[in-house]
Amino acid sequence: TATTGGIGSGSYEVFDQNNTQIIVGNQSSYFRNATPPAPGTILAKVTGYIQNRDNVSGTNFANLIIPSYPGDVEVATFPPVISDVTRNFGVVGYGVDVTVSATIFDPDGTIAEAKLFYRKNMGTNNEILMTNPSGDTYLATIPGENDSTLVDFFIRAVDDSGHVSISPSDTSSNRFFYFVLDRPLTIQDVQYSPFGSGFSGYNGFEVTVRGIVIADTSDIEGDGSNTGPQVYIQNGTGPWSGVSIFGTEAQSSFRGDDVSVTGTVTENFSITQIGTTSDPVVVTTLGTGQPIPDPAEVSTDEIDDLNNGSVQAEKWEGVLIKFSDIEVTDENADGLPGPDEGSGGNRNFGEMLVRDAMSVHETRVELQDGTHQYHNYWANELQNEPIRIREGDTFDELIGILWYSFGNYKLLPRKNDDFVGHTTDVNNESELPTEYTLSQNYPNPFNPSTKIQYTLPTTGNVTLKVFNILGQEVMTLINNQQQTSGLHEVNFNAKSLPSGIYLYRLQSDGFVDVKKMILMK
């Protein structure tokens, strides 16, 4: 049986009669561009090869099945298809009835019943039998409610064979919703997403909100390829108070402008945004040179490496925040230190991992998109450019906008003054070691990161690898890299590995040493 989406376009999860689950992958060009079966579809068979991947996009799936050809997925029965769910009002006023419409049909039968279930302020469900005025259109009207009521709803359809579909398919993590408001809409209303999907209740609707520009295109220029200039506005402080705006008029705004913006709410690669390329925001400047909201103090534990939509992190999306008393635990979050070598080589997308002194978990900081001098040497031309950040560096504060891209929440600093109190971890060359040593990792046991220190009496090539208890290599931390004499420290992040005993081995110019460490999750 097919369930919700998997790890990208065309992928999805399935489970059998024993409730054993697996992801159907999308490596085939056919299935990458195909529409996945609707949740509840019974599949007669799925044929493909098995691929092993650890911790796929925050899931616990170790294996995927990869179909290649159209006939590799055979459908047995189809459930009803529910689509185009919308309401007749985007911004809902006090006491206003709301009509919800949806397109519902059954590919291999007829619709026996369609119902809308709604709640007020997350209370008990109320059900409304939907009417079918014509064709595949179904309607239900939710009665008007009091001011500030949160109304959420989903639709359930049953076909003539008893097969059931629900939209959204997982109501524990996603529902359609709106506020009943007897006041102007705010950024907080637009950004609020309490169920874990990351979607706004105003997605697809035109809204007007007011805020102070906290980042303009001179702050966030983009990396020149994957991302472009960004503009953010914020209303006050606290969770849900910031949002991205898009369009020509947005790009003409400046930090400190007090603006009113009107545009359509969209989810652009999992970022809630007002305005699109085809429907840009309209900006009215109400004042200039206004004070910027103070950055909210957030811990790296709160952001962590949580999945998209996780309320704990999502509530800070688009908001100016700061981490305090920060250490760089890994200068390259996606590979070894040094430049990006492209597909098949060392990857470096300009992101580092940091952790504050009171936290256990790390989170990412994006260095490529802001307008500042700080970098992690993601390209060869940066070798002699200031200011290279290295593992072990510390900051009194790191300030920026919380952003989401490529499967991760990350801090996006704007300019140099967002990096406060930078201290570089430099070896004291007057106290060079006289022998090779490999220290016990710290902390030990650990979860998920630990530090490994070693000393080199002379310049030489270094290899540092990690093995499981069976002697199988699981990760290469340093691969025959030339390093100078002195004390060196490597951060080992084992978030993709299971709990257990591991060995780490250092080799350099005839010196070999091995030590044991314990990962406890």
Question: Lowest mean pLDDT: which of 24-28, 160-164, 325-329, 347-351?
Answer: 24-28
The H-or-E segment that residue 100 falls in is: strand 98-105
* Tokens (6 digits) for 17: 């009669």
Spatial separation of the C-alpha atoms in residues 152 and 147, rounded to whole Å: 15
The per-residue pLDDT for range 427-436, each reduced to its tens digit, is 434 457 889 9
Helices vs. strands in the chain: H and E counts, helices first: 5, 37
Structure confidence at residue 501 (pLDDT): 96
CB atoms under 10 Å from CB of 496, counted, come to 12
* Tokens (6 digits) for 3: 């369930």
Nearest Cα to 393, choosing from 365, 415, 370?
Answer: 365
7 pLDDT band, cuts 50/70/90, is low
pLDDT(4) > 60: yes
Spatial separation of the C-alpha atoms in residues 152 and 177, rounded to whole Å: 4
Spatial separation of the C-alpha atoms in residues 520 and 498, rounded to whole Å: 8
pLDDT(366) > 80: yes
76 pLDDT band, cuts 50/70/90, is confident
Spatial separation of the C-alpha atoms in residues 79 and 40, rounded to whole Å: 6
214 pLDDT band, cuts 50/70/90, is very high
pLDDT(64) > 90: no
As a whole number, mean pLDDT of residues 154-164 equals 95
Structure confidence at residue 282 (pLDDT): 97
CB atoms under 10 Å from CB of 440, counted, come to 12
423 pLDDT band, cuts 50/70/90, is confident
Identity of the amino acid at 61:
F
- Coil, strand, or helix at residue 203? strand
Spatial separation of the C-alpha atoms in residues 149 and 119, rounded to whole Å: 10
Give the total residue count for the chain.
521
- Coil, strand, or helix at residue 21? strand
Output phi, psi for 91, to 5 deg: -95, 120
Structure confidence at residue 10 (pLDDT): 66
Structure confidence at residue 422 (pLDDT): 84
CA distances from 507 to 6, 409, 465, 478, 510 (A): 41, 36, 9, 10, 7
Structure confidence at residue 486 (pLDDT): 81
Mean pLDDT estimate for the chain: 90
Name residues whose C-beta falls within 8 Å of residue 15's C-beta, 6 or more positions apart in sequence: 1, 3, 21, 22
As a whole number, mean pLDDT of residues 259-271 equals 94
Spatial separation of the C-alpha atoms in residues 236 and 70, rounded to whole Å: 52
As a whole number, mean pLDDT of residues 361-372 equals 96
- Coil, strand, or helix at residue 188? helix
* Tokens (6 digits) for 47: 């044929």
189 pLDDT band, cuts 50/70/90, is very high
Spatial separation of the C-alpha atoms in residues 427 and 83, rounded to whole Å: 61
Spatial separation of the C-alpha atoms in residues 458 and 482, rounded to whole Å: 10
Spatial separation of the C-alpha atoms in residues 125 and 491, rounded to whole Å: 49
CA distances from 193 to 179, 188, 272, 312, 503 (A): 11, 10, 10, 11, 43
* Tokens (6 digits) for 283: 């900006």
Nearest Cα to 328, choosing from 406, 417, 419, 415?
Answer: 419
110 pLDDT band, cuts 50/70/90, is very high
β partners of residue 166: 156
Name residues whose C-beta falls within 8 Å of residue 472's C-beta, 6 or more positions apart in sequence: none
Cβ atoms of residues 76 and 17 within 8 Å: no
Spatial separation of the C-alpha atoms in residues 465 and 456, rounded to whole Å: 17
CA dihedral sign of residues 475, 480, 483, 487: positive
- Coil, strand, or helix at residue 236? coil
As a whole number, mean pLDDT of residues 383-391 equals 84
β partners of residue 174: none
Q: Which domains does the chain have, with CATH numbers?
A: 2-77 (no CATH), 81-181 (2.60.40.10), 185-426 (no CATH), 431-519 (2.60.40.1930)
Cβ atoms of residues 41 and 3 within 8 Å: no
Alpha carbon of residue 510 to chain centroid: 44
pTM of the model: 0.75
